[in-house]
Chain A
Amino acid sequence: MKRTATTAASAVKSLAFSVAFGALALAGAVSAQAADGVKIGILNDQSGVYADYGGKWSVEAAKMAIEDFGGSVLGQKVELVSADHQNKPDIGSNIARQWYDVDGVDMITELTTSSVALAVQELSKEKKKIDIVVGAATSRITGDACQPYGFHWAFDTRALAVGTGGALAKSGGDTWFFLTADYAFGYQLEEDTTKLVKQEGGKVLGSVRHPLNTTDFSSFLLQAQASGAKVVGLANAGLDTTNSVKQAAEFGITAGGQKLAGLLMTLAEVHGLGLKAAQGLVLTEGYYWDNDDKSREFGERFFKRTGRMPSMIHAGTYSAVLSYLKAVKAANSKDTEKVAAKLKELPVDDAFAQNGKVLANGRMVHDMYLFEVKKPEESKKPWDYYKKLATIPGDKAFFTAAESGCPLTK
């Protein structure tokens, strides 16, 4: 009896041992697989002047895309990492380098702030990695600074110029003065808009460059006022735009008959200003939550998670992450070359863009919309801010691959 008991005990022991060992082995397998998983990085400004423009809300949008896709691709878990680049190109490219080299990140997206986006684009080229720029505006990303695995998703300075600039120039705004953010993005937006204004027979009377993250615009606004230009073009973004619009009203710029053109404004800035201050502004966005059933469905889901409606940056990040995962699945590999080829081949059709297509230079072309901000009495419900003035077809809004000046497509 005693002997059997001992054997039974040792059997139990060895069973326990093998189970434990098996579990360990299994755990080992899982973590090895996790290292192999697909890793996506959101790199943007999460604490500064652009924190509401993109910020942590973009991270939430990326999470939604991963959940909607099912959380895994090719049998591997999809992981999301995010970091704050503080609008500094050096910090941004250091984080990106660490992500690519050490942490095994496969793709970096969002990339608000043109100067940082250009730096990361350069690094991605060197490391042969995919980056999908959503939040940065400069058309150089798919122009002279393009790279074979770089993409530009939501909008660019060219589309904004065609939309807002074109519309105002056509409706009699033939003299312009620019308030320009003093870095890559501002220059490009001013340049692209100037081209459009001149095409329409207009003139640019002058411009003034202000440092990024300026709180007081009164001096610049007085110069704009003194210029006598019919349109004051705000080639800035985020809090800089909100402050300029607010202070322009204070100094009687709009009351004096000059028109303000917020060249890059999103729902986040309009919300920050309030309808009273923002009413009547004309702006260009690639997405509005109350546009159609698809956009409403996404907008309302986003609202439930964050308490705010998404702008084109947030919806664009959702679309970029979703499209990347679709491309990985279609390529049946996460090899950069293959996925990039698939991204350029597959149509884009989701809550953000319908009939979207990706050009050879990496530009995602889709319809843009010209909106006017509603008057307070026209707004029927919370976040009911825009009325649509026009749809700008993708082909008109963006440069063609040949026009873009991208060396890859010449």
Chain B
Amino acid sequence: MTTIFGVPTAALYGQLLIGLINGSFYALLSLGLAVIFGMLHVINFAHGALYMLGAFTAWLALTKLGINYWAALVLAPIAVALLGVVIERTTLKRLAGLDPLYGLLLTFGLSLVIEGMFRHWYGSSGQPYSPPPQLQGGVNLGFMFLPIYRGWVVVASVVVCFATWFIIERTRLGAYLRAATENPALVQAFGINVPLLVTLTYAGGVALAGFAGVLAAPIYQVSPLMGSNLIIVVFAVVVVGGMGSIMGAIVTGYMLGVLEGLTKVYYPQASAIVIFVVMAIVLLVRPAGLFGRGE
């Protein structure tokens, strides 16, 4: 059997694929954060809680209303986006123009409130949520057994990430958005409703978190803690990629997922910190992040 540094190549391919799957979640979540930071200059700490809300919405829809996975994949992000609209209009809006620290504190508080409520109602063990019947089971790839659902996660996340990038970088709406970030007053003068644009951006960003939550529900338990377990890593991904860089968030998400997967083979104990080590090194060498533009 061929080995690379003492690990059979077959096992290595398996781990690379697993890394890609985890990377899909990092990419989706950090993309939402990057969009929100890029346009609103808000460090959205509530992102993890909203991701958890997405998963819970899917679970509640299934158990209480009998709404299936595919419908939840559309409805849950919309529900989370609506909550995002409320959050932006009632609270974040008032902090516009202040130090980003205020937004960070506000959203951090919000996430504690949301998580606390769900922990109170549902306990921390988590609720089971089965993958849809079409995606159950797995295929043997020769070097590993790939659960079909996980394969679907990679595909869905690549598609959504690309679509988001396309909308922001290649469409007229995206052009307005980017222009509004550069000079809100001027864009407003052209007759474009900037506050509405800002609200929509925030809603869109958190909808991505809700979408990731639904994708995650069948893999992890639907648990109130699922967001806070992930959010710190996702922030590290955003920092490594460069705050506010759309492409940076996506590429770094997948890259660090794979790196983490490899660490789990060679030195599992370090798998929880490897991303932060990378973050520290990147900040020392390129403070603006891998894809960020320096000030």
Chain A interface (Cβ within 8 Å of chain B)?
47-49, 51-52, 55, 182, 208-211, 213-216, 218-220, 222-223, 225-226, 238-239, 242-243, 246-247, 250-252, 256, 268-269, 271-274, 276-277
Q: State whether B15 touches A49 (Cβ < 8 A).
A: no
Given contacts A210-B271, A219-B19, 10 further A-B contacts (CB under 8 A): A47-B124, A51-B124, A215-B230, A218-B22, A222-B15, A239-B124, A239-B225, A246-B221, A268-B125, A272-B125
> Chain B residues near A208 (CB, 8 Å)?
268
A-B contact pairs, 13 of them (CB 8 A): A55-B123, A55-B124, A214-B272, A215-B220, A215-B229, A218-B18, A220-B264, A239-B126, A243-B220, A246-B128, A250-B149, A250-B150, A251-B145
Please report the C-alpha to C-alpha distance between residue A246 and residue B265 in the assembled complex, in whole angstroms. 21
Which residue of chain A is the closest to B115 with respect to CB atoms? A47
Please report the C-alpha to C-alpha distance between residue A251 and residue B10 in the assembled complex, in whole angstroms. 15
Per-position 1/0 for B207-232, Cβ under 8 A of A: 00000000000011101011001100
> Shortest 10 CB-CB distances between A and B: which pairs?
A272-B125, A219-B264, A51-B124, A52-B125, A211-B272, A252-B145, A274-B128, A250-B147, A218-B18, A222-B14
Interface SS majority for chain A: helix
Please report the C-alpha to C-alpha distance between residue A209 and residue B264 in the assembled complex, in whole angstroms. 9
Q: State whether B124 touches A251 (Cβ < 8 A).
A: no
> Chain B residues near A214 (CB, 8 Å)?
272
Please report the C-alpha to C-alpha distance between residue A344 and residue B223 in the assembled complex, in whole angstroms. 41
Asked if B138 is an interface residue, CB under 8 A from chain A, the answer is yes
Q: State whether A251 touches B138 (Cβ < 8 A).
A: yes
Q: State whether A47 touches B145 (Cβ < 8 A).
A: no
Chain B interface (Cβ within 8 Å of chain A)?
8, 10-11, 14-15, 18-19, 21-22, 119, 123-128, 138, 144-145, 147, 149-150, 219-221, 223, 225-226, 229-230, 261, 264-265, 268-269, 271-272
Q: State whether B271 touches A226 (Cβ < 8 A).
A: no
Q: State whether B22 touches A269 (Cβ < 8 A).
A: no
Please report the C-alpha to C-alpha distance between residue A26 and residue B19 in the assembled complex, in whole angstroms. 69
Q: B8 CB to closest chain A CB, in angstroms?
A: 7
Q: State whether A269 touches B220 (Cβ < 8 A).
A: no
Select one of B125, B144, B149 contacting A222, CB under 8 A: B144
Q: State whether B18 touches A239 (Cβ < 8 A).
A: no
Select one of A210, A219, A250, A274 contacting B138, CB under 8 A: A250
Which residue of chain B is the closest to A306 with respect to CB atoms? B123
Please report the C-alpha to C-alpha distance between residue A208 and residue B126 in the assembled complex, in whole angstroms. 25
Please report the C-alpha to C-alpha distance between residue A256 and residue B145 in the assembled complex, in whole angstroms. 10
Select one of B10, B127, B150, B226 contacting A215, CB under 8 A: B226
Looking at A210, A219, A246, A268, the one whose CB has the most chain B CB atoms below 10 A away is: A219
Please report the C-alpha to C-alpha distance between residue A210 and residue B125 in the assembled complex, in whole angstroms. 19
Which residue of chain B is the closest to A278 with respect to CB atoms? B128
> Chain B residues near A272 (CB, 8 Å)?
125-128, 221
Select one of B15, B124, B128, B144 contacting A52, CB under 8 A: B124
> Chain A residues near B261 (CB, 8 Å)?
219
